[in-house]
């Protein structure tokens, strides 16, 4: 193995990149494995072979063409894991429309922003899930739905949205039903679908994923066919997936983890996708692995913790498992031992990256030592360059800390309609992650910290500034600082220190109630403290690190 002297490495790999569209790759897989199981969605009783899956994708794609959806149009998808979500992913790729992933936890404040930011022409929406009343929120933002003809919405607050497609059997004013759209395609629409196969290209934008912003609103990472198709393909290669494998996907589809490392990793290798339920649940996941004889399982570390801690864990037969990917947060060494020993996942991998790199740029492999699989995030994936640089953008020597940067096929086109933020993030083709790390002489990278103060709660990346911007809209709040505090179960929890306007009083519960229904539930601060001042440096900069330490002492003493 080559010994490096500088913190730069190119991922080693054999073979060419898949320089094709998602549709072209999908056609090839369907032609090769038509009768292999493709999609199993247990909570919806869906079991489709690749042949049937392709037929359903084309029905929806032709229906979208009938609704005047054209290449480059943005189509939102809003809801939990479902067969409709997966069909929409492939149908929009067939049409050349850009799929916009809308976080199922979004509320009015966030929904309005993202739909207008990318000028969504259409949205496919679930009806509801638990306290998330998706259709009610759409009607709240666009009351014009009550009186408009489906497909001809003209809403004051959502001026670019013309079409709402709802999942489920019930009828809603101003909306199409998902199933009826699948019947809209006529001969001319299927003919147009064939024509598009020669018009679309691998470098076309095909997906927008919103990633929280450090200075306010979320940014729309814009990804191409080539970006996400190859990242999924390389993840599948790392897991050694074959058409005989069944990948259990309890992670959310709106995240790159689900739709790329799950869906595209499986489909590029002719494997079977298994969805245990609409959202993660440890029991339904364990049941799905047993009943469907899954060979691979994805999850963030907290998911594996709750599975291993399930009171009936020992009663589930998980002996078919061998691999999967752990991503989203560092995996403790003790937990890795349990996953390998108690869940039979001898070849489980660690993945690291971010949405902007489609989403992984590092991965461990089954043949890596246990130390490298627990104490590092692996080496660069094939065809990708990684360097670690200092504050002057110079590559640091092996073992020295610096910022992790990526160059290669996986780097996003940019942030949608935000040249300034794109230029700050991608410099001379290199994407700057904002994460700090070190590289050893064999190219294995350890994550050592974050340049900015991002909070990672249960695998969700949360930027304090986004929450602060929202809390500033509360009439009683004069100043607010949000930061993370260590938590054994979730990794980190959110804490808000608040200075109220002079003469005002408020309670912790009042602040949390203000957040509910307006920002995602996982962004709502668990801890709220009212303070008269913030610790500052001599130059007047607020010291969040000191605030975090003070909270840790308070919670420890409690």
Report yes or no: 225 and 197 within 8 Å, Cβ to Cβ.
Answer: no
Residues of the domain holding 55? 50-219
Given pLDDT bands bounded at 50, 70 and 90, which one contains residue 212? low
In the listed set 179, 197, 219, which residue is the last one of a domain according to the structure? Answer: 219
**pLDDT tens across 302-319, in order?**
899 899 999 999 999 999
**Is 385 part of a structural domain of the chain?**
no
Cα torsion for 388, 394, 398, 399, to the nearest 10°?
-70
Of the candidate ranges 61-70, 77-86, 436-445, 469-478, the one whose mean pLDDT is the lowest: 469-478
Q: For residue 216, what pLDDT is reported?
A: 62
- Sign, CA dihedral 484-487-492-498, equals negative
Average pLDDT, the chain: 94
Of 368, 345, 364, which is closest to residue 353 (Cα–Cα)? Answer: 364
**Is 77 part of a structural domain of the chain?**
yes
| CATH number, domain with residue 84 | 3.40.50.12780
Given pLDDT bands bounded at 50, 70 and 90, which one contains residue 321? very high
| Tokens read off for 242 | 């074959």
**Is 475 part of a structural domain of the chain?**
yes
Report yes or no: 280 and 303 within 8 Å, Cβ to Cβ.
Answer: yes
Q: Which of the two residues, 462 and 495, has the higher pLDDT score?
A: 495
Helices and strands of the chain, counted as H and E runs:
18, 28
**pLDDT tens across 179-202, in order?**
999 999 999 999 999 999 999 999
| CATH number, domain with residue 503 | 3.30.300.30
Q: State what percent of residues in the chain have pLDDT above 70.
A: 98
In the listed set 162, 195, 219, which residue is the last one of a domain according to the structure? Answer: 219
**Is 382 part of a structural domain of the chain?**
no
CA distance 495 to 481: 8
Mean pLDDT of the region 532-550: 78
Q: For residue 461, what pLDDT is reported?
A: 77
Q: For residue 1, what pLDDT is reported?
A: 61
**pLDDT tens across 1-50, in order?**
678 999 999 998 878 999 999 999 999 999 999 999 999 999 999 999 99
Rounded to an integer, what is the distance from CA 367 to the centroid of its chain?
27
**Is 546 part of a structural domain of the chain?**
yes
**Is 201 part of a structural domain of the chain?**
yes
**Is 129 part of a structural domain of the chain?**
yes
> How many domains would you assign to the chain?
2
pLDDT at 245 over 50: yes
CA distance 337 to 459: 20
Given pLDDT bands bounded at 50, 70 and 90, which one contains residue 539? very low
Q: What is the DSSP annotation of 17-74?
A: ---S-HHHHHHHHHHHSTTSEEEEEGGGTEEEEHHHHHHHHHHHHHHHHHTT--TT-E
CA distance 115 to 123: 9
**Is 553 part of a structural domain of the chain?**
yes
| Tokens read off for 181 | 């759209």
For residue 169, count other CB atoms closer than 10 A to its CB.
Answer: 9
pLDDT at 74 over 60: yes
Given pLDDT bands bounded at 50, 70 and 90, which one contains residue 214? very low
In the listed set 188, 219, 250, which residue is the last one of a domain according to the structure? Answer: 219
pTM (two decimals): 0.86
Q: For residue 540, what pLDDT is reported?
A: 55
Given pLDDT bands bounded at 50, 70 and 90, which one contains residue 59? very high
**pLDDT tens across 116-166, in order?**
999 999 999 999 998 899 999 999 999 999 999 999 999 999 999 999 999
Given pLDDT bands bounded at 50, 70 and 90, which one contains residue 537? low
């Amino acid at each position: 193995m080559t010994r490096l002297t500088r913190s730069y490495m190119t991922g080693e790999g054999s073979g060419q990149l898949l320089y094709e569209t998602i549709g072209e790759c999908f056609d090839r897989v369907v032609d090769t494995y038509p009768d292999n199981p493709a999609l199993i969605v247990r909570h919806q009783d869906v079991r489709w072979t690749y042949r049937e899956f392709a037929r359903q994708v084309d029905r929806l794609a032709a229906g979208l063409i009938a609704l005047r959806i054209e290449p480059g149009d943005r189509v939102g998808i809003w809801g939990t894991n479902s067969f409709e979500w997966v069909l929409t992913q492939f149908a929009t790729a067939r049409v050349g429309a850009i799929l916009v992933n809308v976080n199922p936890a979004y509320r009015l404040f966030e929904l309005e922003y993202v739909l207008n930011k990318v000028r969504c022409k259409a949205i496919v929406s679930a009806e509801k899930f638990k306290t998330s009343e998706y259709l009610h929120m759409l009607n709240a933002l666009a009351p014009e739905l009550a009186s408009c003809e489906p497909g001809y919405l003209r809403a004051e607050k959502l001026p670019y949205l013309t079409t709402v497609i709802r999942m489920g059997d019930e009828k809603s004013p101003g909306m199409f039903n998902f199933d009826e759209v699948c019947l809209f395609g006529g001969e001319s629409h299927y003919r147009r679908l064939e024509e598009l196969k020669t018009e679309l290209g691998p470098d076309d934008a095909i997906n927008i994923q919103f990633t929280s912003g450090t200075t306010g609103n979320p940014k729309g990472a814009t990804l191409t066919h080539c970006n996400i198709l190859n990242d999924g393909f390389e993840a599948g290669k790392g897991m050694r997936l074959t058409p005989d494998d069944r990948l259990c996907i309890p992670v959310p589809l709106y995240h790159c983890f689900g739709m790329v490392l799950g869906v595209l990793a499986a489909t590029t290798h002719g494997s079977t996708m298994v969805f245990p339920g609409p959202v993660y649940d440890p029991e339904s996941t364990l049941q799905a692995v047993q009943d469907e004889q899954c060979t691979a399982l994805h999850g963030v570390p907290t998911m594996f913790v709750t599975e291993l801690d399930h009171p009936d864990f020992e009663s589930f037969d998980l002996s078919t498992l061998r691999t999967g990917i752990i991503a989203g947060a560092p995996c403790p060494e003790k937990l890795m031992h349990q996953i390998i020993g108690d869940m039979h996942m001898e070849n489980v991998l660690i993945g690291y990256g971010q949405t902007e790199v489609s989403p992984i740029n590092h991965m461990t492999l089954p043949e890596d030592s246990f130390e490298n699989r627990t104490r590092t995030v692996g080496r660069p994936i094939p065809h990708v360059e990684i360097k670690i640089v200092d504050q002057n953008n110079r590559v640091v020597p092996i073992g020295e800390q610096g910022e992790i940067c990526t160059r290669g096929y996986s780097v996003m086109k940019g942030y949608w309609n935000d040249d300034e933020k794109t230029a700050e993030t991608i410099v001379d083709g290199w994407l700057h992650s904002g994460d700090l790390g070190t590289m050893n002489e064999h190219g294995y990278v350890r994550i050592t910290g974050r340049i900015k103060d991002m909070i990672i709660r249960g695998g969700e990346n949360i930027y304090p500034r986004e929450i602060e911007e929202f809390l500033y809209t509360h009439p009683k709040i004069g100043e607010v600082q949000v930061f993370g505090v260590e938590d054994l179960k979730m990794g980190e929890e959110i804490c808000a220190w608040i200075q109220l306007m002079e003469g005002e009083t408020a309670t912790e519960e009042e602040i949390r109630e203000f957040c509910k229904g307006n920002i995602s539930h996982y962004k709502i601060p668990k801890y709220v403290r009212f303070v008269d001042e913030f610790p500052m440096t001599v130059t007047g900069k607020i010291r969040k690190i000191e605030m975090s330490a003070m909270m840790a002492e308070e919670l420890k003493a409690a």
